[in-house]
Amino acid sequence: MFADKIKITFLGTGTSQGVPVIACNCEVCTSQNPFDKRLRTSILVESGTTTIVIDAGPDFRQQLLKNKVSKLDAVVFTHEHKDHISGLDDVRAFNYVQKKAIPVYATERVVTALKREYAYIFDNNQYPGIPQIEIVNFDDKKFSIGDIEIQPIDVLHYKLPVKGFKINSFVYITDANYIDEVNKKIIKNADVLVLNALRHEAHISHFTYKEALNLAEELNIKKTYLTHISHQLGTFDSLQNSLPKNVELAVDDMQIIL
C-alpha cells in the first residue's frame, strides 16, 4: 500500500555555490532577508512511515540537523555533480543510530562517480567507521522505498543525463534545461512541480526564470515552486510580487503537504 500523502521539506534551494556566494557583495548576497539565504539544493520526502532525501550535497549535515531529521530510509541521487553528492559521508550517523547500512539509489553512471569520489567506502579493506551503504541501481522503471513509489523522469543538464522524480502528483526536477516530449507527458497536469530556475540570463545547462515559467504553463501545472536559484536571479522581495499566482519561489525549510 503506497502513501496517499507526503510531506516535502526544502532542505536547500540554492545553486552549486549557495547564496550568499563567497566574496560577493551584490544586493542578494548582502541581503538581511533570511529568504535570500540558500543552501545547496536537496529535499526531504516523508510519508507516515518512510523518510528519504533526494540529493546529499555539501550542506547535508547542516540541513539534517536544522530540520531535526532523526531517521533516514534512503538517499536518492539525481546526478553526480559535487553539489548533489558531496555530503554522502554523513550517513554514518544513521548507520550508528539505525544499526544498518543506508540504501543509496543511483543510476549506473552515478554509482561510477560515487566509487571514484568515495573510494574508501567501496574498498575491500574496510576502514573502521566508514559509511555503510547499500547501492540500489535504478533506470527508467518505477521503484518503491517503503510506502513511497517513485517514477524516474529523464531530463538533460546540457548533455548530462539527470533524473527527475514523480511521487504521486508531485514532480521534482533540478539541474535541467531540456525535457523531451515523452517525459513532458509524465509531468503534465501535475499538482505540484518543483523546477530549477537559475537566473534571468540564458544558461548552458539550466532553465532560466522565464523558461521555467513557460514550461510550467505549457504543462498545465497547478502549483510550481522554483528552486536551484542563484544570486543572479535577484532578491526574494523583488521577485515575489511579479510571479504568477500559482508560482512561488521555494525557500530553505519550506514545507508542503500533498
Residue 161 in domain? yes
> Quick one: pLDDT at residue 241?
86
Question: Cα–Cα distance between 175 and 198 in angstroms, integer?
Answer: 9
Task: State what percent of residues in the chain have pLDDT above 70.
Answer: 100
Q: Is the pTM of this model over 0.85?
A: yes
> How many angstroms separate the Cα of 94 from the Cα of each of 77, 103, 123?
18, 11, 20
Q: Is residue 45 in some structural domain? A: yes
For 7-75, give the DSSP string.
EEEEEE-B-TT-BSPTT--STTTT---GGG-BPBPEEEEE-SS-EEEE---TTHHHHHHHTT-----EE
Give domain status of residue 142, yes or no: yes
Give the CA angle between residues 59, 113, 91 to the nearest 5°: 40
Per-residue pLDDT tens digits for 113-129: 999 999 999 998 888 89
Quick one: average pLDDT of 43-70? 98
Q: Which CATH number do you get for residue 154?
A: 3.60.15.10
- As a whole number of angstroms, the distance between CA 105 and CA 209 comes to 30
* Three-class SS state of 196: strand
pLDDT at 228 over 90: yes
Q: Which three cell numbers stand for residue 231?
A: 544570486
Rounded CA separation 192/187 (Å): 9
Q: Are 170 and 153 in contact (CB under 8 A)?
A: no
In a domain, 1, yes or no: no
Q: Considering the domain boundaries, does residue 2 fall inside one? A: no
pLDDT in tens, 164-194: 999 999 999 999 999 999 999 999 999 999 9
Q: How many domains does the chain have?
A: 1
Per-residue pLDDT averaged across 57-79, rounded?
98
Do 11 and 255 touch, CB atoms closer than 8 A? Answer: no
71 has a pLDDT exceeding 90: yes
**Which of the residue ranges 17-26, 31-40, 65-74, 237-246 would you say has the lowest mean pLDDT?**
237-246
Cα(9)–Cα(20) distance, integer angstroms: 21
- C-alpha cell, 193: 512541480
Domain that includes residue 228, residue range:
7-257
Structural domain contains residue 43 = yes
Number of H helices, E strands in the chain: 8, 14
- The answer to whether residue 117 is domain-embedded is yes
Residue 31 lies in a domain: yes
